[in-house]
Amino acid sequence: MKTVLITGDKNAVPAQYLKPIREAGIELACKKCTSPEEVEEFAKDADLVWMFGANPGLTAEVLKRLPKCKGIFRSGSGLDALPAAAKELGIEVLNTPDSIAESVAEHAVTLLFALIRRIVHYDKAVRAGRWEGPNGMNWHISGRTLGLVGYGRIARKVEEMVSGFRMKVVHYDPFVPGSMELDELLKVSDYVSLHCPLTEETRNLIDARRLALMKPNALLVNTSRGPVVDEGALTEALKKGTIAGAALDVLCDEPPAKDHPLFGLDNVILTPHIAAFSADFEKNFWTCSAQKIVSACERFARSEKENS
Q: Which residues are catalytic?
A: 225, 254, 273
Instruction: Residue 74: name the closest of 6, 13, 11 by CA.
Output: 6
Q: How far is CA 179 from CA 78, 158, 185, 219, in A?
A: 21, 16, 10, 21
> How far from chain centre, in Å, is Cα 262?
21
32, β-bridge pairs: 7
> Which residues, other chains included, contact 129 with Cβ-Cβ below 8 Å and sequence gap of 6+?
none
Task: Please say whether the beta carbons of 28 and 73 come within 8 A.
Answer: no
Give 52's contacts (C-beta < 8 A, 6+ positions apart). Answer: 7, 8, 74, 75, 76
Are the CB atoms for 165 and 142 separated by under 8 Å? yes
From start to end of 25-122, where are the E strands? 27-30, 48-51, 71-74, 92-95
Q: Give, in order, the Cα–Cα distances in Å from 116 to each of 99, 139, 217, 244.
A: 28, 6, 10, 10
For CA atoms 239, 246, 141, 195, give the dihedral sign: positive
* CB 77 within 8 Å of CB 32: no
